[in-house]
C-alpha cells in the first residue's frame, strides 16, 4: 500500500480543518478497538455519518488495514489510523466523541462478568489517555461488563480531576434495538415505528424493558410479556450461542452504537429533544449508576429522565434489577490494590 503523498496529506488535512471549523458542523470522533468485530462495522457506519468530519481508528492490531479500507469510501469524513499504545495520544488529541468497543467478547458459557478482569484494565488505560488528550470529550463506553466498566471509567476520571458525569455514557442501545425488534415482531408492525424504554443495567435481569411504556401505545398478554422480557434480557446470549465460540453480537451492536453516537452528535450540535436510554451516573434510584432515558445536549447528558409509571410486573423487575446491580462486581476493581 503506497504511503499517502505529501500533496494528498495536505489536502486531506485542509478538508478536515475546514469542515471542523465551518458550517458543515463536523465533529471529530475516535473509535478505540476499531479493528474488532464491533469496531470495523462501527467504523464503516461512522464514516457514513455526515456529522463526522474526522474519524480516528485506534487499535492494538490491524488499524492500518481497516483504515486504508474505510478511507476509500467517498464520504466526507477524513479517516486516520493509529496502531498501538505509542499512538494512543495522537488518536485522542482534540476528539469531540470517543467510542470504546475495545476488549474481549463473551464465549458460550461466559457471563459478561467473566470479562471483567481483562476489560477493566483495557478501559482504565484508554481512559487515562482521554484524561490527557481530550478530557472534554463525550465517552460512549461499549466494553463489557458495562455495569462495571462505566464506574471504572468514572473513577479514572475522578482521580485525574476531569470527571463530569454528563460526558460518560454506557452504551445500552443494543437492548433497546433488540426490544424494538422483538416487540414489533409480536405486534406485527414495522420495528422502526417502535420505541421501548429499557432501564436498569446491561446484563441479565438488570436489563429491564418497560413494556407498559412502549410507543406506539399497545398492550400485551402475560405470556407475551414473559416471552418478550426473557428474550430481551437474553438476546446477547442468543447470539453468543449461535456464533458458537466466534464471539458475541457485533453487527447489531455496531448498528446500535452508531445510532447512539449519532444521537450524541445531534445533541452536541444543539438539536432539541434528543432522548435515548443509557447507563449513566443517576439519581433516579438509590444506585450511583443506572440506565434510563436521558436527554442529550451540547454538554452530553442534559437531563436524566425519571422512570415514569411502572406496573406491578415492572416494579418487581426493578427490585430484582437493583438488587443485582448493587451486589454487582461494579466496585470490585476499586478494592484491587493498585488498580486505580
List residues with catalytic annotation.
202
Shortest distance in whole angstroms from residue 85 CB to ligand NAI: 7
Which residue in 41, 76, 105, 209 binds ligand NAI (CB under 6 A)?
105
- Binding of ligand NAI at residue 33 (CB under 6 A)? yes
Shortest distance in whole angstroms from residue 318 CB to ligand NAI: 20
Binding mask 59-98 for ligand NAI (x = CB under 6 A): xxx-------------------------------------
Distance CA 183, CA 209 (A): 10
Shortest distance in whole angstroms from residue 304 CB to ligand NAI: 19
Q: Is the dihedral of CA 195, 28, 162, 122 positive or negative?
A: positive
Our CB check for ligand NAI shows the closer of 203 and 281 to be: 203
Distance CA 43, CA 158 (A): 29
Which residue in 26, 39, 300, 317 binds ligand NAI (CB under 6 A)?
39
Among positions 108-147, residues that touch ligand NAI (CB under 6 A) are 115, 119, 122, 125-126, 142-144, 146
Shortest distance in whole angstroms from residue 183 CB to ligand NAI: 18
Our CB check for ligand NAI shows the closer of 20 and 210 to be: 210
Residue nearest to ligand NAI (CB): 36
- The CA distances from residue 57 to 37, 66, 82, 87, 92, in Å, are 14, 8, 6, 11, 10
Shortest distance in whole angstroms from residue 275 CB to ligand NAI: 19
Our CB check for ligand NAI shows the closer of 171 and 307 to be: 171
Our CB check for ligand NAI shows the closer of 121 and 135 to be: 121
Among positions 198-257, residues that touch ligand NAI (CB under 6 A) are 202, 247-250, 253
Element (H, E) at 290: strand 289-297
- Binding of ligand NAI at residue 180 (CB under 6 A)? no
Do 93 and 133 form a contact (C-beta atoms < 8 A)?
A: yes
173: nearest Cα among 45, 61, 272: 45
- Binding of ligand NAI at residue 178 (CB under 6 A)? no
Shortest distance in whole angstroms from residue 42 CB to ligand NAI: 8
- 3-state percent breakdown (helix, strand, coil) of the chain, nearest 5: 50, 20, 35
Q: How many chain residues are in contact with ligand NAI, going by CB under 6 A? A: 33
- The CA distances from residue 321 to 136, 259, 283, in Å, are 31, 25, 15
Our CB check for ligand NAI shows the closer of 97 and 249 to be: 249
Check residue 329 and report its DSSP letter: G
Our CB check for ligand NAI shows the closer of 250 and 282 to be: 250
Element (H, E) at 78: strand 78-83
- The CA distances from residue 150 to 29, 86, 172, 227, 280, in Å, are 19, 24, 11, 29, 8
Q: Which residue has the cell 475516535?
A: 30
Distance CA 63, CA 57 (A): 6
3-state secondary structure of 254: helix
Our CB check for ligand NAI shows the closer of 10 and 85 to be: 85
Shortest distance in whole angstroms from residue 108 CB to ligand NAI: 13
Distance CA 232, CA 194 (A): 14
> ∠253-225-192 over CA atoms, to 5°?
45
Distance CA 276, CA 285 (A): 18
Distance CA 248, CA 258 (A): 17
Q: Where on the chain is the footprint of ligand NAI (CB under 6 A)?
A: 32-33, 35-39, 59-61, 101-106, 115, 119, 122, 125-126, 142-144, 146, 171, 174, 202, 247-250, 253
Amino acid at each position: 500500500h503506497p504511503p499517502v503523498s505529501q500533496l494528498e496529506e495536505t489536502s486531506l488535512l485542509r478538508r478536515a480543518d475546514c469542515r471542523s471549523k465551518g458550517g458543515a458542523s463536523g465533529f471529530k470522533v475516535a473509535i478505540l478497538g476499531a479493528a474488532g468485530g464491533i469496531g470495523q462495522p462501527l467504523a464503516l457506519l461512522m464514516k457514513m455519518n455526515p456529522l463526522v468530519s474526522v474519524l480516528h481508528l485506534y487499535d492494538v492490531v490491524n488499524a492500518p488495514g481497516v483504515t486504508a479500507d474505510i478511507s476509500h469510501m467517498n464520504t466526507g469524513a477524513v479517516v486516520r489510523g493509529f496502531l498501538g499504545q505509542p499512538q494512543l495520544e495522537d488518536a485522542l488529541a482534540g476528539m469531540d466523541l470517543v467510542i470504546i468497543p475495545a476488549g474481549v467478547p463473551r464465549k458460550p458459557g461466559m457471563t459478561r462478568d467473566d470479562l471483567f478482569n481483562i476489560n477493566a484494565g483495557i478501559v482504565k488505560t484508554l481512559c487515562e489517555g482521554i484524561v490527557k488528550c481530550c478530557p472534554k470529550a463525550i465517552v460512549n463506553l461499549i466494553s463489557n461488563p458495562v455495569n462495571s466498566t462505566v464506574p471504572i471509567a468514572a473513577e479514572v476520571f475522578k482521580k485525574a480531576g476531569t470527571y463530569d458525569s454528563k460526558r460518560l455514557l454506557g452504551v445500552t442501545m443494543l437492548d433497546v434495538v433488540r426490544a424494538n425488534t422483538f416487540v414489533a415482531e409480536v405486534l406485527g408492525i414495522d420495528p422502526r415505528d417502535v420505541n421501548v424504554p429499557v432501564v436498569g443495567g446491561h446484563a441479565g435481569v438488570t436489563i429491564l424493558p418497560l413494556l407498559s411504556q412502549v410507543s406506539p401505545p399497545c398492550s400485551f398478554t402475560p405470556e407475551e410479556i414473559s416471552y418478550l422480557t426473557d428474550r430481551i434480557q437474553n438476546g446477547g446470549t442468543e447470539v453468543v450461542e449461535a456464533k458458537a465460540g466466534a464471539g458475541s453480537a457485533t453487527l447489531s451492536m455496531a448498528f446500535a452504537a452508531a445510532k447512539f453516537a449519532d444521537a450524541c452528535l445531534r445533541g452536541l450540535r444543539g438539536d432539541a429533544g434528543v432522548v435515548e436510554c443509557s447507563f449513566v451516573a443517576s439519581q433516579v434510584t438509590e444506585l450511583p449508576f443506572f440506565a434510563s432515558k436521558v436527554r442529550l445536549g451540547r454538554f452530553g447528558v442534559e437531563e436524566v429522565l425519571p422512570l415514569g409509571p411502572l406496573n406491578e410486573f415492572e416494579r418487581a423487575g426493578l427490585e430484582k434489577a437493583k438488587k443485582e446491580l448493587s451486589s454487582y462486581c461494579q466496585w470490585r476493581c476499586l478494592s484491587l490494590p493498585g488498580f486505580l
